[in-house]
Structure 1
Amino acid sequence: MKKRKLEIMDTTLRDGEQTSGVSFSALEKLTLAKLLLEELKVDRIEIASARVSDGELEAVQKITEWAATKGYIERIEVLTFVDGGVSLDWMQKSGAISQNLLTKGSMNHLKYQLKKTPEQHFSEIAEIFKQATERGIINNIYLEDWSNGMRNSKEYVFEFLEFLSTQNVKRILLPDTLGILTHTETFAYLSEIIQKFPKLHIDFHGHNDYDLGVANIMEAVKAGCHGLHLTVNGMGERAGNAPMASAVAVINDFLPEVEISINETSLYKVSKLVSAFTGFTIPANKPIVGDNVFTQTAGIHADGDSKNNLYFSDLMPERFGRKRKYALGKMSGKANIQKNLQELGLTLNDEELKKVTARIIELGDKKERVTKDDLPFIISDVLDTTDHKQRVFVKSYVLTHAKGLMPSTTLSVEVDGNIYEAHAQGDGQYDAFMNALKKVYLAKKKTLPKLTDYAVRIPPGSNSDALCETVITWELDGKEFTTRGLDSDQTVSAIKATEKMLNII
């Protein structure tokens, strides 16, 4: 029996970026885009929403410029809006040629959010499609809140699909926007649509609010859908989207009627890199990519593994570029920089590689050794740093912490070539540093952002000499943003994260 080809669209860089606190830099987006298309071999990637920011435009331009040289340009997709063609203008500036137009897939959204009739909505969509076609742009369309539409206003959904069957549209994207579907509903709704409209290309976009994302993916494939939308590590708004690694394993092992292009052996390295770039750790028990899922702890299991592989299943770690581990076993040793970059699947240009190498040498002077586990943090730190022109430098500081005395800091800061010095005390060394910094900015009649969250982590498997990554969330004028610092000293890593904040503001 000939297998049916199933498209996999990754939306980590667009929908995944809606994870609270996550924002990819332009270089991080480009690095991940290359990895997703060339290493993981997804069919398409959705990388941005139109009109968001100048930074988003720059990121899309970097990706489309690269994709055009590789023949991938049709596989780069951008979320657009029914806005009279403003999104299309943005797309043309960005170099992208595939739009995913966001429209209303339920009467509830149409009536209460847009306050329009179906006829008005369809007319505006038809005009957008007409303009897009004239500009050489490929039309895909999201029916937002489609799952609630099927539950509560099915007649409207079918009226919408009838209209779309008359339009120049390549793919219909059906999202379970609020993650409310059960697996039985997913199968029933998609089966009904695919039987009624056999010529339409149908994608299913699942969310994980009830932890049913993968189950719904299975049922969507059984119903005959033509494409799936997934994210690395299940990133996304609220509880996230259907996770890439679990969905791929399920499709390959339980759905023999379809074939996908995904390179399973790259799932783990992509997962680790996304985790490093976002600061969101992967739960140790997360299927396929968690640290513990291929680790045997109980002695009886280790014994069984040596006796006819009694505790093995089809989920062999080698499939996903991993090795089986035992809790009492030793970890692997050091490797050179180039080999580790290859294992991470990274393609860095000469300038980026030079910066990463310089950072490793700098850290190596402070720390006994730099391991493979440190490397994603170092790369993330270097790529993140390149996004902002540095105008503020923390030139020097003295941190004191003596028994019976309050911690204090004396610092020197350079701002646009001018040197400022201050001294302050605090409840801890970093608090004293921030108090001294506030004195500098108070003298300049400027207010610093409010620190709303502070997290410190070290690479998995590391020990007391590990690199520290400090992730600080700031609030300024009602908006939150995050900066990261990396150093072998925890307080210094926090100071580096703060220096990045000073340059951003």
Structure 2
Amino acid sequence: MKKRKIEIMDTTLRDGEQTSGVSFSVSEKLTLAKLLLEELKVDRIEIASARVSDGELLAVKQITQWAKEKGLLDKVEVLCFVDKGISIDWMLDAGAKVQNLLTKGSMNHLKHQLKKTPKEHFSEIADVIQLAETKGIATNVYLEDWSNGMRNSKDYVFEFLDFLATQPIKRILLPDTLGVLTHYETFDFVSEIVKKYPNLHFDFHGHNDYDLSVANVMEALKAGCHGLHLTVNGMGERAGNAPLASVVAVINDFLPEIEMNVSESSLYKVSKLVSAFTGFGIPANKPIVGANVFTQTAGIHADGDNKNNLYFNDLLPERFGRKRQYALGKTSGKANIQKNLQELGLTLNNEELKKVTQRIIELGDKKERVTKEDLPYIISDVLDSDGILNKVIIKSYLLSHAKGLQPAAAVAVEIEGKLFEEHAQGDGQFDAFMNALKSVYKSLKVNLPKLIDYAVRIPPGSSSDALCETIITWDNNGKEFITRGLDSDQTVSAIKATEKMLNII
């Protein structure tokens, strides 16, 4: 079966920039324009609205200059207005050669916003198209609010399309401006138009107010539209536009009759860059580009992946330049941990793996997730505990630290079955804890080792909620030894290291 080729127009730099609080700098627009056309290989990019600002003009000039040198100028488009040629003058100054002319696609907009008749509107549009043609500028036409036009003033829409069929234009752009279409309507409306005007090129421009944009895109394609308008990360006004990454994956996997140029492997890279430029984080659960979409959390899933990839679907992370990950936490099983150990180049025997698994589950009950980078610390802590008899157990403690008051600690410690309680003050919480312990051991006529070094570290790249490993060096009558403690709380990890010391002596 011969595939039907469609165009992908990315409008992140124009419609995506209408996301509340987002404004790309000149250099950012140029960088993204290059990536979108050369690496992601979209067919066209809409980069700006005419007459917006001096900064916008400068950005368009730089992009068109670059595009002209690369032979890509016909792929660069600018939103223009029916304004008696003012936008055309702006286009000429900017060096752009394709205008996307904004017109009224519903009687409601025409009547209440422009307060004009269809004949008056069409006449002004014809003048702008003719002027653009004489200046060497190609024209595509947006039918703003087209979706409501089809719902409520279909006769007007077809009267408009009859007029446009007589004009020297390249494409007609059909926007669901307010994101109100259902997928059933999208199919019906687009198919009706495509059948009636088989010689015209139609693009579908979907918004995501009801979270239906991807479904609407699928139906528009099935109905025969020739192009799509998408944005990176689904950026855009209100709930945004149809998201580029999701649409590309859907087309490749579910619409085999459709062919396009977009390079899947660059989607994630561009997505991350747009997120960095805009300051808008990518939701962890966002399809294709989110942090969690290729992360297995449940241990049974990792086990299934080991057994004939039972939990894989066609969305393999390698398609998008990513890797599958296996989360560590209270739902982790041994399979999850083994996957992470393989990446780190570490091996454990079954008994060691069982102990590490149990420790990760315990930590997961206190901390949202454990990272792969935490694993060496956990292993060190678990294996360091092996062989140490728990004759001494720190049963409970209360640490207090208030402004203007000296830190204090109350400690209950069980030594070979007998409970001792003491409280003390110190220069800090851990110092107060140690002073309370010294009081306990003083009553037993035992001197505790001297603390000669105290180091705290977290895994590289971790955040403030990372696991802490506290490493304490002790001097016991001239003999030095080290104990480690691991916890998400720094003081608690030091107390765990101290409990090991008490058992060793």
TM bucket normalised to smaller: 0.5 to 0.7
Q: Which residue of 2 aligns with 1:58?
A: 58
- Secondary structure at the aligned position of 1:2 is classed as coil
The residue number in structure 1 matching 2:362 is none
Question: Once the two structures are superposed, what CA deviation does each residue of 1:37-94 show, in whole Å capped at 9, x if it has no partner?
Answer: 0111000000000000000000001100100010000000000000000000001111
What's the counterpart of residue 168 of structure 1?
Answer: 168
Q: What is the TM-score of this pair, normalised by structure 2?
A: 0.66
Between the aligned partners of 1:140 and 1:65, the Cα distance in structure 2 is 21
Say if 2:312 is the partner of 1:306: no
C-alpha deviations, 1:405-458, integer Å up to 9, x for none? xxxxxxxxxxxxxxxxxxxxxxxxxxxxxxxxxxxxxxxxxxxxxxxxxxxxxx
Aligned counterpart, 2:478? none
Residue 24 of structure 2 aligns to which amino acid in structure 1?
Answer: F
Deviation, structure 1 residue 462: 3.9
Q: Which residue number in structure 2 is paired with residue 219 of structure 1?
A: 219
Q: Distance in 1 between matches of 2:33 and 2:342?
A: 31
CA–CA distance in 2 between the matches of 1:91 and 1:39? 26
Structure 1 length-normalised TM: 0.66
Distance 2:181 2:118 in 1: 24
CA distance in 1, matches of 2:140, 2:341: 50
Distance 1:330 1:43, change over 3 A: farther
Distance change in 2, residues 1:330/1:403 (3 Å): farther
Supply the distance in 1 between the matched residues of 2:186 and 2:342 (Cα, whole angstroms): 43
> Structure 1 residues 325 and 108 mapped into 2: Cα distance closer, same or farther (>3 Å)?
same
| Alpha-carbon distance, 1:258 to partner | 1.0
- Counterpart CA distance in 1 for 2:230 and 2:145 is 17
Per-residue deviation at 1:463? 2.3
Equivalent position SS for 2:123: helix
**Could you tell me which residue of structure 2 aligns to residue 123 of structure 1?**
123
Q: Identify the residue that residue 22 of structure 1 maps to in structure 2.
A: 22
| Distance 1:330-1:86 versus aligned 2 partners, 3 A rule | farther
CA–CA distance in structure 1, aligned partners of residues 55 and 163 of structure 2: 36
Q: Which runs of 5+ in 2 are unaligned?
A: 329-339, 345-401, 405-459, 467-505
Aligned AA for 1:149?
G
2:276, 2:343 → 1: CA distance? Answer: 20
Alignment-mate amino acid for residue 283 of structure 1: P
Q: Following the alignment from structure 1 to structure 2, what is the Cα–Cα distance between the partners of residues 132 and 277? A: 34
User: Where does structure 1 differ by over 6 angstroms across 4 or more consecutive aligned residues?
Assistant: 330-333
1:30 and 1:195 mapped to 2: Cα distance?
39
Cα 1:200/1:331, change in 2 over 3 Å: farther
Aligned match of 2:179: 179
Q: Which has the larger radius of gyration?
A: 2
The one-letter amino acid paired with 2:119 is E
| Cα separation, partners in 2 of 1:323 and 1:93, compared to 1, 3 Å | same
Structure 1 residues 112 and 41 mapped into 2: Cα distance closer, same or farther (>3 Å)? same
Counterpart in the other structure of 1:72: 72
Q: State how 1:281-360 maps to structure 2 within 5 Å.
A: 281-328=281-328, 329=340
Report the number of matched residues.
Answer: 344
User: What per-residue deviation string (whole Å, max 9, x for no partner) do you get for residues 238-291 of structure 1?
Assistant: 000000000000001111111010100011011000000000000000000000
1:12-411 to 2 correspondences below 5 Å: 12-328=12-328, 329=340
- What runs of 5+ residues in structure 1 fail to find an aligned partner? 334-401, 405-459, 467-505
Give distance in 2, aligned partners of 1:106 and 1:17: 25
Distance in 2 (alpha carbons) for counterparts of 1:86 and 1:236: 26
Paired with 1:251 and 1:311, the residues of 2 have a C-alpha distance of 22
By relative contact order (CA 8 Å, sep 6+), the higher-ranking structure is 1
User: What does 1:468-487 correspond to in 2, within 5 Å?
Assistant: none
| Whole-angstrom distance in 1 between the partners of 2:81 and 2:462 | 46
Separation of aligned partners in 1, 2:34 and 2:341: 33
Q: Can you list the C-alpha shifts for 1:285-330, whole angstroms capped at 9, x where unaligned?
A: 0000000000011110111101110100100000111000111337
The offset of 1:331, in angstroms, is 11
CA-based RMSD: 1.9
Give the Cα–Cα distance (whole angstroms) in 1 for the partners of residues 225 and 12 of structure 2: 21
Q: Distance in 2 between matches of 1:77 and 1:201?
A: 16
Letter in 2 for 1:180: V
Could you tell me how far apart the structure 1 residues matched to 2:133 and 2:464 are? Answer: 59
SS at 2:48 equivalent: strand
Alpha-carbon distance in structure 2 between the residues aligned to 1:158 and 1:290:
41
Task: Indicate the SS of the match to 2:236.
Answer: coil
Q: Identify if the C-alpha distance between structure 1 residues 146 and 330 changes in structure 2 by more than 3 Å, giving closer, same or farther.
A: farther
| 1:463 alignment partner, SS class | coil
Shift in CA distance, 171/330, structure 1 to aligned 2, threshold 3 Å: farther
